[in-house]
Copies of this chain bind each other. A is one copy, B any other.
Amino acid sequence: MYVILVYDIGEKRVGKMLKLCRKYLNWIQNSVFEGEISEVKLKELSIFAKSIMDITEDSMIIFSNRTGYYMDKIIVGKERMKLDNFL
């Protein structure tokens, strides 16, 4: 399953969150990750993320697409992380 993950996390917790998400997905921009992941691994990531987050203050959004369709991607300006469109 193809996913895009974005988060808005308090400064004290953002380091841990970056480290966690990098284990599962590709970092492509400040607090933005993309990649292919299984349903089980996504659940695992969400559980670990919740244990790091202050859910009254922090926010994480996971866009997923079960149909296997990738999103087209246009990058304007500086590409933070060199990554092909299709993994």
Contacts and interface: CB of A to CB of B under 8 A. Distances in A.
Contacts of A50: 76-77
Contact of A73 (B30, B63, B73, B78): B63
Contacts of A79: 59
Chain A interface bracket (under 10, 10 to 19, 20 to 34, 35 or more): 35 or more
A6 B29 CA distance: 8
B65 A69 contact: yes
A52 to B, nearest CB: 10
A76 B63 contact: no
Given A4-B71, A71-B71, A78 B61 contact: no
Nearest to A72: B64
